[in-house]
């Protein structure tokens, strides 16, 4: 997320902050409806941002949603999978 913020803010002042607000809004939707978003595998889901070509990749762990990545839709599919570990 930090890299995306820095890139977007460098492209246009204020764009990084709009990105952050979009991520925050997506996290709010995930909190309200954790099972509503596109499944990517067992307990793994993606919630797309409304205004940017990014998605919040997360998994359900008990009563919580654990964010794995804020991933650009065009990046190599599954580049974040090594973050899953054996938790």
Dihedral over Cα of 38, 41, 44, 49: its sign: negative
Angle at CA of residue 42, ends 37 and 47, nearest 5°: 20
Two tokens, residue 40 = 């990517």
pLDDT tens, the chain, 87 aa long: 899 999 999 999 999 999 999 999 999 999 999 999 888 887 889 999 999 999 999 998 888 899 998 988 876 666 556 666 644
Looking at residue 38, its pLDDT comes to: 81
* pTM of the full structure: 0.82
The dotted CATH code for 2-76 is 3.30.2310.20
Looking at residue 27, its pLDDT comes to: 97
């Amino acid at each position: 997320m930090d890299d995306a913020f820095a890139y977007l803010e460098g492209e246009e002042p204020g764009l990084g902050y709009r990105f952050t607000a979009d991520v925050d809004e997506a996290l709010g939707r995930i909190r309200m409806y954790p099972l509503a978003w596109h499944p990517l595998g067992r307990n793994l889901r993606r919630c797309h941002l409304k205004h940017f070509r990014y998605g919040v990749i997360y998994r359900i762990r008990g009563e919580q949603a654990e964010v794995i990545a804020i991933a650009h839709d065009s990046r190599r599919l599954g580049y974040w999978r090594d973050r899953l570990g054996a938790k």
